[in-house]
């Protein structure tokens, strides 16, 4: 289904639109796409992917933008579809590469972005607010129209591009909630208008392509929330994304109805909800919101805590509550915890670890699997079919999702009569000309790993070493050799992480010594070669005798 063994793409012909997905195809995260025509580049989204358990020590994963890294001066703009981390989280890192890039986004999206830029000390970014129904010329090649779409965060946008190479409808993340809390519907009339004009390529959100029917509306969550509040006898802890304004609004409403007081916990939650309230996207009922400093004076049966941690993040407030290490909050059998979010693929173990920890403490845990306390922000298969039939694109390209989501979305497009469906991965290069989209090559879009202050310095080899250290431990072998006497003075072996008694190495020490003496007598004096000699000897022994594969760190000292 996916293209393999593609070569470097050819030189881009005039009046041909080149599309390169730099992230988001194969992962739920790090969404970013580059569009190029006649020497100008437009970017849509720049998000992060959060690391999984096989990325030890990694903080964030960025899109692989090496393909455009030497062409920042050709970038005429970065368009942001909405304010979720997987669409805006990489913007500060991008602007550190080139601060002159103009960033276009809706009012709330830019408001969520600004604190991130300040944290990264990007002092004077060029942020340009756009709104649905607005059309702008970005550079000289991209006539860009912004369209309202409904998602799990307000102010989300789809983007319609008109270029000399063809037209593209990029849906961003969307669904078709017919009774949205903010009354802002997905603008299907504009989708139909684009279809009448002619959409050469439709790039469509794939996250829920495997889910039948239509995504449940946000209003459907309220009965389940009400039941949770009705049944709760102690404090209620609600864990959700720090950007999920709709869910926070519903919790605030229930708190007001039930005479409870809400406290926001976590820096990002406090910051984002403060922005949303200030800008009018979040309405706080009177006497409903309290300061975290008031926790000690609020009765347990009147308290609601809204915090992050719905994905089992180790340092989140909820994880610390579950492990009984939170400095201010103790949780017990009278309390209720609600995980009001979808489970991001890859986070299953972390989330279930938190749920198990809470359950062990006697806490009542409510989550999407046992109550309708969350609905998705993405269109299900019925909605995708509806949109394909409205737009009738000449070519379709599934985006935003794992491989199974992309393939399912491609099948939906074909079922509606779309003949050309490009199911591709990150780095696959597509050229659009004369209404035809075709795959022409492949570029590198490897992960860019953020580890503390280090960006891009961590390689796959480094990660492999970290995985071995975490899973198998390590062995250090310190050998003191006398080159002139062709002898070995001493060998010290120590292990950490897989065995407690260093005495087990007494059997292999004579073998290491004998092999080193033999190598020295053969004229081998290079330290690296002697270390490799040690590594081979003890590696074979540990694998055979101990059935383990630890990292081996040999050190040779000359005297």
Q: Mean per-residue pLDDT for 120-138? A: 94
The reported pLDDT for the residue numbered 143 is 98
CA distance 503 to 77: 63
Residue entry with tokens 């890294």:
69
Q: Which helix (H) or strand (E) holds 238?
A: strand 236-239
The reported pLDDT for the residue numbered 461 is 60
Residue 273 pLDDT exceeds 90: yes
Structure tokens at 206: 């794939």
DSSP 8-state assignment for residue 368: T
What are residue 364's phi and psi, to 5 degrees? -80, 120
DSSP 8-state assignment for residue 512: H
pLDDT digits (tens, 9 = 90+) for 367-379: 877 888 889 999 9
Q: Mean per-residue pLDDT for 400-427? A: 96
Instruction: Compute the CA torsion angle 510, 512, 515, 517 (nearest 10 deg).
Output: -70
- Residue 305, by phi and psi: left (phi above 0), alpha (psi -120 to 50) or beta? beta
CA distance 282 to 278: 8
The angle subtended at Cα 458 by Cα 455 and Cα 460, nearest 5°, is 140
219 and 179 Cβ atoms separated by less than 8 Å: yes
Structure tokens at 446: 């490897």
CA distance 329 to 440: 56
Centroid of chain to Cα 113: 16
CA distance 172 to 266: 28
- Closest-CA residue to 175 (of 225, 216, 137): 216
284-290's contacts with Cβ under 8 Å and 24+ in sequence apart are 284/252, 285/252, 285/253, 285/255, 285/256, 286/256, 287/261, 288/252, 288/255, 288/256, 288/260, 288/261, 288/262, 289/252, 289/261, 289/262, 289/263, 289/264, 290/261, 290/262, 290/263
Residue of 539 and 21 predicted with greater confidence: 21
pLDDT digits (tens, 9 = 90+) for 433-453: 999 999 999 999 888 877 655
CA distances from 185 to 131, 147, 213, 342 (A): 14, 10, 18, 22
CA distance 363 to 234: 10
- Closest-CA residue to 393 (of 216, 528, 533, 192): 192
pLDDT digits (tens, 9 = 90+) for 179-194: 999 999 999 999 999 9
Q: Which residues contact 34 (CB under 8 A, 6 or more apart)?
A: 18, 19, 20, 22, 41, 42, 43, 65, 67, 68
pLDDT digits (tens, 9 = 90+) for 76-107: 999 999 999 999 999 999 999 888 999 999 99
Q: Mean per-residue pLDDT for 524-548? A: 84
Most confident of 259-268, 326-335, 387-396, 528-537: 387-396
pLDDT digits (tens, 9 = 90+) for 484-510: 778 888 888 888 766 667 778 888 888
DSSP 8-state assignment for residue 356: H
181 and 218 Cβ atoms separated by less than 8 Å: yes
The reported pLDDT for the residue numbered 466 is 53
- Closest-CA residue to 531 (of 545, 519, 547): 519
| Per-chain mean pLDDT for the chain | 89
Q: Mean per-residue pLDDT for 517-541? A: 86
Residue entry with tokens 């035809």:
436
The reported pLDDT for the residue numbered 43 is 98
439 and 429 Cβ atoms separated by less than 8 Å: yes
Residue entry with tokens 């096989």:
54
Centroid of chain to Cα 140: 32
Domains and CATH numbers, the chain: 17-214+376-452 (3.60.15.10), 218-367 (3.40.50.10710), 460-558 (3.10.20.580)
């Amino acid at each position: 289904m996916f293209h393999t063994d593609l070569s470097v793409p050819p030189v881009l012909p005039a009046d041909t639109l080149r599309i390169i997905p730099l992230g988001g195809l194969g992962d739920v995260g790090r969404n970013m796409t580059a569009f190029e025509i006649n020497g100008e580049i437009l970017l849509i989204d720049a998000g992060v992917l959060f690391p999984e358990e096989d990325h030890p020590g990694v903080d964030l994963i960025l899109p692989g933008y090496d393909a455009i890294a030497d062409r920042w001066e050709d970038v005429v703009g970065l368009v942001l579809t909405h304010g979720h981390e997987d669409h805006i989280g990489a913007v500060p890192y991008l602007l550190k590469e080139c601060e002159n890039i103009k960033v276009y986004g809706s009012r709330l999206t830019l408001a969520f972005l600004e604190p991130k830029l300040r944290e990264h000390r990007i002092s004077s970014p060029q942020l340009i607010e756009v709104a649905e129904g607005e059309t702008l010329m970005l550079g000289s090649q991209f006539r860009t129209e912004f369209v309202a779409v409904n998602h799990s965060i307000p102010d989300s946008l789809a983007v319609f591009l008109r270029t000399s190479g063809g037209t593209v409808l990029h849906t961003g993340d969307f669904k078709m909630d017919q009774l949205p809390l903010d009354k802002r519907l997905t603008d299907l009339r504009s989708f139909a208008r684009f279809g009448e004009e002619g959409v050469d390529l439709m790039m469509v959100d794939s996250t829920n392509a495997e889910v039948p029917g239509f995504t449940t509306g946000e209003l459907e969550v309220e009965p389940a929330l009400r039941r949770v509040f009705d049944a709760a006898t102690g404090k209620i802890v609600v864990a959700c994304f720090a950007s999920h304004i709709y869910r926070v609004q519903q919790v605030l409403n229930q708190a007001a109805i039930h005479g409870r007081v809400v406290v926001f916990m976590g820096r990002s939650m406090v910051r984002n909800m403060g922005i949303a309230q200030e800008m009018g996207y979040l309405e706080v009922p009177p006497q409903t919101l309290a300061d975290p400093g008031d926790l000690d004076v609020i009765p347990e049966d009147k308290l609601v805590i809204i915090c992050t941690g719905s994905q089992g993040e180790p340092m989140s407030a909820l994880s610390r509550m579950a492990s009984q290490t939170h400095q201010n909050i103790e949780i017990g059998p009278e309390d209720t915890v609600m995980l009001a979010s979808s489970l991001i693929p890859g986070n299953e173990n972390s989330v279930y670890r938190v749920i198990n920890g809470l359950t062990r403490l006697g806490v009542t845990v409510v989550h999407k699997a046992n109550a309708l306390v969350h609905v998705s922000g993405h269109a299900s298969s019925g909605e995708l079919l509806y949109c394909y039939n409205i737009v009738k694109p000449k070519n379709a390209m599934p985006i935003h999702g794992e491989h199974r989501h992309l393939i399912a979305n491609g099948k939906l497009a074909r079922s509606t009569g779309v003949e050309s469906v490009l199911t591709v991965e990150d780095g696959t290069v597509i050229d659009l000309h004369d209404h035809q989209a075709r795959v022409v090559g492949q570029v590198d879009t490897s992960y860019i790993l953020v580890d503390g202050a280090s960006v891009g310095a961590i390689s796959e080899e480094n990660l492999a070493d970290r995985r071995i250290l975490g899973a198998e431990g390590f062995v250090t072998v310190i050998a003191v050799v006398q080159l002139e006497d062709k002898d070995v003075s001493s060998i010290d072996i120590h292990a950490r992480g897989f065995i407690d008694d260093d005495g087990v190495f007494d059997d292999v020490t004579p073998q290491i010594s004998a092999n080193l003496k033999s190598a020295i007598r053969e004229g081998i004096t290079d330290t690296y070669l002697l270390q490799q000699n040690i590594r081979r000897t003890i590696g074979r022994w540990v694998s055979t005798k101990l059935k383990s594969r630890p990292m081996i760190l040999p050190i040779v000292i000359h005297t």
